[in-house]
Amino acid sequence: MDKDEQITRMAQPSKEFSGFQEARRTWVDLTRTQMQDVYFAVLKEHRGGHQMEGQLAFGEALQAKLKERNT
């Protein structure tokens, strides 16, 4: 096998990679209403606190909700 054949062979996807692609699930987003529900739940808990803490809590809550919907 010469160098050009090696490069061509390396550039082609393997069978394992192709199988992985077929097994991927479709990503499920949150609706605007679901994001608002998460926001209001976090707001109730962090009202009157530091803004940065509330923003971080909101981000973490969104991550948790997306993980719940996509696993």
The per-residue pLDDT for range 24-57, each reduced to its tens digit, is 778 899 999 999 999 999 999 888 888 889 899 9
Give me the mean pLDDT over the 14-19 stretch.
57
Q: What share of the chain in percent tops pLDDT 90?
A: 42
pTM to 2 decimal places: 0.60
CA distance 44 to 26: 32
Domain encompassing residue 32: 3-70
Q: Report how many domains make up the chain.
A: 1
Please provide the average confidence, as pLDDT, over all residues in the chain: 79
CA distance 10 to 13: 8
